[in-house]
Amino acid sequence: MNRGNPEAVAIAVFAKAPLPGHAKTRLIPVLGSQGAADLQRAFVLRTLETAVAAAVGPVSLWCAPDCSHELFGHCRERFGAALRPQTSGDLGQRMRAALAELCRQGPALLIGTDCPAMAPAHLRAAAAALRQGSDAVFLPAEDGGYVLVGVRRAEPWLFGDMPWGGSAVMAETRRRMRQAGWRWAEPALLWDVDRPEDWRRLERAGLMAVTPGGVDAASAAGAG
């Protein structure tokens, strides 16, 4: 690899449209359906900003339920992100499909939008691990899952029949990689925002301009 021109590592961002009643549903009891949707909008914009700022490779936005929401068009224009619809199937099937497509051109990372603690430096560290020969890289989450997966090839066994949403996802993933003889890196442990207690932690952390009803207008619009 040319040190002056490092290997590109693509970044796929998985995002749900910020539809009231369908986005961040576990936070609706504390934020209301519109507040939860506004938070989702702010998360998508923040994640795209982070991915582009990392400058490790092309950024694509994988949309659900499809690419028609106006936010996704805004992201394409503002960040230059290619829009792709997520495939059908469970989370593992959808992630593998996206990574398999991107890995035809080289190594790739995949992230969601629920981790405002993720910074460009985390993405650069993950990309560096793949460039240095790791088969995979993960950023585990404190709840037992992970907020980033990166691979050089998207093997079915890494994603199939996984207890998604549970506390054993990362442990089971490690077990499978050990069994396959893979080398992997875990550059950092992060936390995501799914539950009311995570929302309160986000308020305390000061990572975003939040209000009791969700996010302020500037955050929701992606200003700043």
Sequence ranges of the domains in the chain: 10-221
**Residue in this structure with the two tokens 């207690």, named with its chain if needed:** 197
Cβ neighbours for 217, distance < 8 A, ≥ 6 positions apart: none
Cβ neighbours for 213, distance < 8 A, ≥ 6 positions apart: 31, 32, 35, 38
pLDDT digits (tens, 9 = 90+) for 74-84: 999 999 999 99
DSSP 141: B
Full-model pTM: 0.92
Cα radius of gyration (the chain): 17
pLDDT digits (tens, 9 = 90+) for 33-70: 999 999 999 999 999 999 999 999 999 999 999 999 99
Its CATH architecture, for the domain 10-221, is Alpha-Beta Complex (3.90)
- Pairing label, strands 136-140, 108-111: unpaired
